[in-house]
Amino acid sequence: MNALLLWTAVGFTLSVLIETPVLVFCLCERHSLREKLFAGVWLTACSYPIVIWVIPHFINPVHHKILYLIAAETFAPLSECALFWWAFGTREEFRTRTFYRDMLAVILANLSSFVVGEFLNALKVL
């Protein structure tokens, strides 16, 4: 198997395994467990290919790691927040406590997978 495809599959799986429990515990109670589990996979499936395959074509992660991380780790939570709101948000809920809680949950999930990924990268596991 191509090393990039293997790394992509491992990274995607790891991201889902880290982000989904954060979403399950942190998203508002109005979301069913099924919605939370779906969001854990779907949001990562939407943003991960852009972060791994598209952004590196514009910013070389080997030569410009900090710039790449800024771009990727800004894109991922912003796009996932927008997608989550599009799929599960309501007009009445916009800018309420539950809106902010859901957006913070998505950001925290992304931050969690980023920190674990960087830790594993520093240990040369990834």
Residue 126 vs residue 114, higher pLDDT: 114
Geometric angle at alpha carbon 108, from 104 and 110, rounded to 5°: 120
The pLDDT mean for the chain works out to 92
Give me the amino acid identity at 86: W
| Residue with token string 């790691």 | 65
Measured between alpha carbons, how far is 61 from 76 in angstroms, rounded to an integer?
16
From 84-88, 94-98, 104-108, the region with the lowest mean pLDDT? 94-98
Residue 4 is predicted with a pLDDT of 67
> How large is the average pLDDT for residues 7-13?
86
Sorted by sequence, the CB contacts under 8 Å of residue 112 that are 6+ apart come out as 18, 19, 22
Measured between alpha carbons, how far is 45 from 22 in angstroms, rounded to an integer?
16
121 near 43, Cβ under 8 Å? no
Measured between alpha carbons, how far is 41 from 17 in angstroms, rounded to an integer?
9
User: Which pLDDT tens digit goes with each residue over 32-86?
Assistant: 999 999 999 999 999 999 999 999 999 999 899 999 999 999 999 999 999 999 9
> How large is the average pLDDT for residues 3-25?
89
Residue 3 is predicted with a pLDDT of 64
The ranges assigned to domains in the chain are 3-122
Sorted by sequence, the CB contacts under 8 Å of residue 6 that are 6+ apart come out as none
> How large is the average pLDDT for residues 76-104?
93
Measured between alpha carbons, how far is 22 from 18 in angstroms, rounded to an integer?
7
